[in-house]
Amino acid sequence: MASLDAATARGTTKGTRGGTTVESTRSGRGRGTPARRRRRYPEYLLFLAFIAPNFLFVLVFAYWPVIYNGYLSLTDWNMLAPTKDLVGLANYRDLFTDPDFLATLRQTVVFVVGVVVGSMVLGLATALLLNQRLVGRRFVRTMAFAPHVLSGAAIGTLWLFIFDPNYGLIRPLLAPLGLTSPPWMTSSRWALPGLIIVYLWKSTGFIAIVYLAGLQNLPRDLYESAALDGAGSWRLFRKITLPLLSPVTFFLFLTTIISAFQAFDVIALMTEGGPGTSTTTLSWFIYQRAFVASDAGHAAAAAMIMFVLLVAMTALQARFLERRVHYR
């Protein structure tokens, strides 16, 4: 009894493990003790010194604008007055009862779906073609990627010429078929499809190159084994290629949706949201309300709606689509 009390006073416990007496000491040198934490303070300070610049950069240029924009969406401010009047959710109520804004939402959905679905399908088809042993495929790969690196001004100017109903490049292509080139950018019926075509041309090359990188990293032994079992080309594509490309598809799907929602430069150059409001998307609507109408409140509210839509769509994709992603 006396020896047990002495061991307890020294902070020592004994036990048996496999017939061997094991002694452990709980002293100031133990893990997680104040002495050990004091010795690790320099490491903590070094860690904070390294992450502080990046953390401040993200806080100032990413999170703070969103927070401040949320505050502006609750105000009535013309961007010139020294004070901002709080109006609560009135700006959101005005937007959701505004026929022009509801039409803008519909046009944005049509534009995003057209660009995302079209560019994903065309990009994958182009990648499958470029993955074949073709003459001059390196040159074709470069040319396919070139539209992605062009500026919006260059793309808009080029396609304004292509779409010109009198002198554009589409006119001689349609003439042998007995068709005339429609007034692409001056007709409310054709302007939005024309913009979708332009963005398909702009984004398909990037998607194709990313898909191509994924295709070239697929294990060939799976194809050889499936071919020995009698699988045809379509079955190989459906059962092996698509599932193994699912991480690439998931990444491209997310980034293409975000890029389509943020489309602005080509719209500004080619249509300015017209004719009328037929090509006005959320990004152009926000610009018009903020910098043309000087209505910061409604512009900020529209921006918050777009932010919530993007966050919700990203969360839904991560929740449901990622289940179908096969990581090797």
Domain 99-324 indexed as CATH 1.10.3720.10:
yes
Segment 229-272, tens digit of pLDDT: 888 888 888 888 998 898 899 899 999 999 999 999 999 999 99
Whole-number pLDDT of residue 219: 87
Segment 131-170, tens digit of pLDDT: 888 777 788 888 888 898 899 999 999 999 999 988 888 8
- Identify the band that residue 20 occupies on the pLDDT scale cut at 50, 70 and 90: very low
Segment 90-103, tens digit of pLDDT: 999 999 999 999 99
Domain spans of the chain? 34-86, 99-324
pTM: 0.82
Q: Angle at Cα 312 formed by Cα 309 and Cα 316, nearest 5°? A: 135
| Nearest CA among 264, 272, 128, 115 for reference residue 204 | 115
Q: What is the DSSP string of 262-318?
A: T--HHHHHHTTT-STTTT--HHHHHHIIIIIS--HHHHHHHHHHHHHHHHHHHHHII
